[in-house]
Amino acid sequence: MIIPSKSAKEKNRRITRRSLMLGGIQLAVVGVLGVRMRQLQVTQSDSYRLLAEENRINVQLIPPDRGLIFDRLGKPIAENKPNYRIVLIREQAQDPANVLAELAKIIDFPEDKQADVLKKMKRNSAFVKIPVVENLDWSDFARISANAPALPGIIPEVGLNRNYPQPEDFTHVVGYVGPVSDRDLSGLENPEPILQFPGFQYGKTGLEVKIEDTLRGTAGTSQVEVNSSGRVIRELSRKDAVNGADIQLTLDSDLQHYASYRMGDQSAAAVVMDVHSGNIRALASSPSFDPNKFIFGISTTDWNGLLNNEYRPLADKTISGAYPPGSTFKMVVALAALEEGLVDAEEEIFCPGHFDLGNRRFHCWKRGGHGRMNLSDSLKESCDVFYYEISQRIGIEKITAMAKRFGLGARPDLPLPAITGGLMPTKQWKQTNYNEAWRKGDTINSAIGQGFVLSSPVQLAIMTARLASGRAITPRLIQRINGVPTPLEYADPLGISDADFALVREGMFRVNNETRGTAYATRIAETTMAMAGKTGTSQVRQISLAERATGVIKNEDLPWEHRDHALFVGYAPYDKPRFAISVVVEHGGSGSAAAAPIARDIMLRALYETQPPISAFPREIRDEMLEQRQNEPPPNVVAPTPRSDRA
């Protein structure tokens, strides 16, 4: 048995005494709480209940107007238009099903839609406004308003809705808005209450989602006194909403429209960029779709149609499509070799049509070979063997380092979601990702922009702008926010010698402007506007030895998804560059036949800012071009706002 010391006893006695004191104090506090409770809940209960019943203070949100989006000349790309709609509050309706049935007698309102509204109502609290019909025309809206007393709980409202007056042209860049979804909310740390506002619209894709916070603005509040039936007695105070910022883009509506039109139904992308400022004039991905269909939620049929289309209309190919750049990559390889002094302007390399490395044979696109080629010739005729040879001298690390200086392999800084950085491989990269050593054959494939090398159309445009200007141009999409110009930074020179640039640019000039140049057929005949460029045709399949033996299958005979990608990059005018362009036609066949003509037409449109004179085309194709023009639409006029279908 433990015998406690005297001190321990003393300790415990003190604890006991103090505990009782403390208990007493606490009891007193509890007493005070009890008295206060009684005072509030029993004595003064009636007056408080009156306050709760008769005189509720209600805070109503005032939604801000979403910022508008304009093109570089101020033409509207995304605007807001009045939306006449009706909403329903369950607790005021008593019998919502009956009210909706009454409503169907006044306007066309089918039963399945009534069921949708009732379903939505069940998921929300009784006092939440549920959108019933959006985008009513004025006469329906007026009729409902007149009948409002017979429709308890139905409230006619005028709101603003997003509208895209140039459907299809800007779908990918600007994106679209839609009703706020639970997924949108779950991604936000602290969602603003306005997002719960019925029918409030939130950016879903493109700029609309990327700069959502800038476009949305801040909700205002109106504090009103309401009586027990919810009628507003008076407004107590008001804080106006701050509207979203208006955005002016660098894009040109007319050029963007023309680019979309020119690509037609093909799966393609085109980018036009100012070589000095980096301003993007056109950023078009094809095929496109009408973003207005998404605003009130798209129908399942339409959605599945877009989703299952093998041309992937939902993707923005300009920024998220990663393609092997093919021969358009050769300028980078050439500059890497020139800078290292591993090749010069004079050296000639013999192309027999193939290049042997160990027991592997790499083929030039031209079966019989090009014969003797110097660097400038190799660009003009796009000789592959020349690049196989010099790539062995440089090695992959130097090639990739040069590519990075041209913006390849790095994600361009644009306010858009889902931007790919493409891929510029290194030995280390292959070791990490494939757990295999880098092989010489990999370098050979990379030298002609195949193998692991991937880039997006916008990256190729940046590369071309840098080739033309010699400076580290970066893309710019937003010109002004609320009228305030966004900063335009001076781009630093790339640090490549003028002689090296001159040589490569000359090669690019010859591609378009000399016979046997791969894009000679699509040259610009007007000499002050002459274009320099480079075609690219990138394989998406392996050509087997057996196929080589029997003859390579022509693109036209292959299924679409096995055909080569067609690419073209270029800039113009040659002596005073203004614009760089890149065009990629997915599985389009050859770069000279499928991509170069599109690039030439879009470039001419950019240079002349209207339909170019027929003299800009080479004599031999003028008749053909004139015929083509018969079918061409007139210059883009912003169409009057179409009325969308009811939601």
Would you name the residues annotated as active-site residues? Answer: 327
Residue 576 in contact with residue 530, Cβ under 8 Å? Answer: no
Q: Does 47 bind other proteins (CB under 8 A)?
A: yes
Task: Say whether residue 119 binds other proteins (CB under 8 A).
Answer: no
> Which of 6, 105 has the CB closer to other proteins?
6
Going from the C-alpha of 311 to that of each of 354, 560, 561, 598, the distances in angstroms are 34, 10, 10, 18
115 vs 236 by CB, closer to other proteins: 236
Q: Do residues 514 and 521 touch, judged by C-beta distance below 8 A?
A: no
Task: Report how far residue 479's alpha carbon sits from residue 169's, in angstroms, rounded to the nearest whole number.
Answer: 19
Closer CB to other proteins, 23 or 305, in the complex: 23
Sign of CA dihedral 308, 310, 316, 322: positive
Q: How far is the CB of 115 from other proteins (least distance, A)?
A: 22
From 41, 299, 628, 641, residue interacting with other proteins (rule: CB under 8 A): 41
Q: How far is the CB of 203 from other proteins (least distance, A)?
A: 25
Block residue for tokens 């990739």 = 400
* Minimum distance of other proteins from residue 118's CB (angstroms): 17
Provide the minimum distance between the beta carbon of 50 and other proteins in the complex, in angstroms, as a whole number. Answer: 8
> Do 201 and 161 meet the contact criterion of CB atoms below 8 Å apart?
yes
**Sole binder of other proteins in the list 110, 125, 368, 493 (CB under 8 A):** 125
Q: Which of 115, 119, 127, 181 binds other proteins (CB under 8 A)?
A: 127
Q: Quote the CA–CA distance of 180 and 199 in Å, as a whole number.
A: 8
User: x/- site string to other proteins, residues 1 to 40, per CB under 8 A?
Assistant: xxxx--xx-xxx-xxx-xx-xxx--xx-xx-xxx-xxx-x
* Closest alpha carbon to 78 in 66, 88, 68: 68
| CB of 36 or CB of 360, closer to other proteins | 36
Matching residue, tokens 């027999």: 352
Among 53, 111, 137, 624, binds other proteins (CB under 8 A): 53
Q: What are phi and psi of 217, to 5 degrees?
A: 80, -175
Least CB distance to other proteins at residue 529 (A): 52
Angle at 47 between CA 46 and CA 49, to 5 degrees: 65
In the bound state with other proteins, the residue whose beta carbon lies nearer, of 3 and 484, is 3
User: What are the CA-CA distances from residue 135 to residues 83, 140, 157, 293, 602 (Å)?
Assistant: 5, 10, 10, 13, 37
The alpha carbon dihedral of 136, 140, 146, 150 has a sign of: negative
Rule CB under 8 A: is residue 305 a binding residue for other proteins?
no
Q: For residues 19 and 497, which CB has a smaller minimum distance to other proteins in the complex?
A: 19
Q: Are strands 268-274 and 579-585 parallel, antiparallel or unpaired?
A: antiparallel
Quick check: helix, strand or coil at residue 538?
strand
In the complex, the smallest distance separating the C-beta of residue 95 from other proteins, rounded to whole angstroms, is 20
If residue 136 lies in a helix (H) or strand (E), which one and from where to where? strand 129-136
Residue 545 touches other proteins, criterion: CB under 8 A: no
Least gap, CB of 39 to other proteins (angstroms): 9
Residues 6+ apart with CB under 8 A from 362: 354, 355, 356, 384, 385, 388, 441, 444
| HEC assignment per residue over 51-120 | HHHHCEEEEEEECCCCCCEECCCCCEEEEEEEEEEEEEEHHHHCCHHHHHHHHHHHCCCCHHHHHHHHHH
**What residues are paired with 249 via a beta bridge?**
478
Residue 44 C-beta: closest distance to other proteins, Å: 6
Between 43 and 610, whose beta carbon lies closer to other proteins? Answer: 43
C-alpha span between 262 and 240 (Å, rounded):
46
Complex with other proteins: residue 127 or 560, whichever CB lies closer: 127
Q: Binding mask 324-363 vs other proteins (x if CB under 8 A, - otherwise)?
A: ----------------------------------------
Residues 472-491 that bind other proteins (CB under 8 A): none
Distance CA 268, CA 599 (A): 11
Which residue, 189 or 620, has its beta carbon nearer to other proteins? 189
Nearest by Cα to 422 from 461, 384, 389: 461
CB closer to other proteins out of 147 and 221? 221
Structure tokens at 269: 């992308």
Nearest in space to 154 (alpha carbons), one of 244, 89, 57: 89
Under rule CB under 8 A, which residues in 371-430 are in contact with other proteins? Answer: none
- Quick note: the x/- pattern for other proteins over 486-525, rule CB under 8 A, is ----------------------------------------
Task: Indicate which single residue of 48, 350, 434, 608 sits in contact with other proteins (rule: CB under 8 A).
Answer: 48
Please state the closest distance from residue 231 (CB atom) to other proteins, in A: 15
For residue 453, what are its two tokens? 């090398």
Q: How far apart are CB 123 and other proteins at their closest, in Å?
A: 10
Interface positions, 57-96, toward other proteins (CB under 8 A): 57
Give, in degrees to the nearest 5, the angle at Cα 332 between 327 and 338.
Answer: 120
Does the footprint of other proteins cover residue 98 (CB under 8 A)? no
**Interface of this chain with other proteins, residues 199 to 218, rule: CB under 8 A:** none
Q: How many residues are there in the chain?
A: 647
Q: How many residues touch other proteins (CB under 8 A)?
A: 46
Site track for other proteins across 225-264, x = CB under 8 A: -----------xx---------------------------
380's tokens:
């003009």
Amino acid in the structure at residue 133: V
Question: Which residues contact other proteins (rule: CB under 8 A)?
Answer: 1-4, 7-8, 10-12, 14-16, 18-19, 21-23, 26-27, 29-30, 32-34, 36-38, 40-42, 44-49, 51-53, 56-57, 125, 127, 223, 236-237
